[in-house]
Amino acid sequence: MPSLLYSLDYFSRNAIVGSAEEVRTSILHILRSARRNNANRGVTGALVFSDGCFAQVLEGARDDVEAVFESIQCDPRHCEVTILHLRPIEARSFGAWSMAFGGIDGVSIDHGVVENAMGQVESIVATEAGRNLLATLRSVVHRDELDRQKRAGVGEAPLQR
């Protein structure tokens, strides 16, 4: 029986122009919109922004994931949008969040993973880059979400959407 859940992993380059604060404000707006819109569609996932690149995982029903991704592709704040994976999954990796987030505040991700994936179009190489990117996203997002909870005094409570 085919999976009802799909995961789409992609990365893109930032096309937002302006000061560092204007870029930050725009990214936070993207995050707020993503959380609202994804929750309405039953899509979960994670977004990382670092060194001018976005990396994101979207999870949910295929039609919903593709609809969200189509809006991202049409968003002028993204350029060089590259899909790494669209595949059926057994379970969500980021099911606790409509859109978890990592980045902006000095977070360092493995830029080699992003750059490597950006330069490769062969499916076998892109597949490996996608797995590495997913592992990086999980690590960064979980760390950043836990740090935000600690700063907010939430302690060990479940992670919030």
Distances (CA, A) of 87 to 63, 91, 106, 142: 13, 12, 31, 23
- State residue 158's pLDDT score: 37
> Which domains occur in the chain, in start order?
5-152 (3.30.70.100)
- State residue 110's pLDDT score: 44
For the CA atoms of 138, 131, 60, 102, the dihedral, rounded to the nearest 10 degrees, stands at 30
- State residue 47's pLDDT score: 87
Residue 20 CA to residue 126 CA, distance in Å, equals 31
* Phi, psi (rounded to 5 degrees) for 9: -110, 130
pLDDT in tens, the chain (161 residues): 455 999 998 888 889 988 888 888 888 898 899 999 999 999 999 888 877 888 889 999 999 999 999 999 999 999 989 888 889 999 998 888 888 887 664 434 444 444 444 444 334 344 555 556 666 666 766 666 666 667 766 443 333 34
- State residue 115's pLDDT score: 46
- State residue 53's pLDDT score: 83
pTM of the full structure:
0.72
